[in-house]
Amino acid sequence: MGTTSSSGGAPNKDSWKVTLPCTKAEAEAIGDAEMEGVVLLVTEEDEATGRWRLDAYVEGEPDAAALAAIRALTSSVAVEPRVEGLGDEDWVTLSQAGLEPIREGRFVVHTSAFPVEPPPGGRAFLIEAGQAFGTGHHETTAGCLHVLDALAERRFANAVDLGTGTGLLAFAARELWPDAQIMATDIDPVAIEVTRENMEVNGVERIDLVVADGARDPAIQERAPFDLVIANILAGPLIAMAPEVAAIAAPGAAVVLAGLLETQADAVVNAYRAAGCALERSERRGDWTILLLRAGETVSSVAPANSDRNAWATDT
Q: Beta strand 249-261 with 288-294: parallel, antiparallel or unpaired?
A: antiparallel
Q: Which helix (H) or strand (E) holds 109?
A: strand 107-110
Task: Tell me: pLDDT of 132 over 50.
Answer: no
- Counted residue by residue, the chain has a size of 316
For residue 294, what are the β-bridge partners? 254, 278
For position 310, what pLDDT does the model report? 52
For position 314, what pLDDT does the model report? 43
237-256 pLDDT, tens per residue? 999 999 999 999 999 999 99
State the alpha helices, DSSP H only, in 72-167.
91-95, 139-150
Task: Tell me: pLDDT of 40 over 70.
Answer: yes
Q: Which of 29-33, 82-86, 288-292 has the lowest mean pLDDT?
A: 29-33
Residue 100: CB atoms within 10 A of its CB come to 14
pLDDT confidence tier of residue 97, bands split at 50, 70 and 90: low
Mean pLDDT (whole number) for 141-164:
96
| Chain centroid, CA 277 distance in Å | 23
pLDDT confidence tier of residue 148, bands split at 50, 70 and 90: very high
- Give 313 or 88, the one with higher predicted confidence: 88
For position 7, what pLDDT does the model report? 33
246-282 pLDDT, tens per residue? 999 999 999 999 988 889 999 999 999 999 999 999 9
pLDDT confidence tier of residue 316, bands split at 50, 70 and 90: very low
Q: What is the distance between the alpha carbons of residues 213 and 42, in angstroms, rounded to a whole number? A: 28
Asked if the peptide bond before residue 225 counts as cis, ω within 30 degrees of 0, the response is yes
Residue among 241, 248, 189, 205 at smallest CA distance from 223: 248
CB-based contacts of 62, cutoff 8 Å, min separation 6: 16, 18, 70, 83
Q: What is the distance between the alpha carbons of residues 122 and 103, in angstroms, rounded to a whole number? A: 10
Residue 314: CB atoms within 10 A of its CB come to 12
- Give 41 or 208, the one with higher predicted confidence: 208
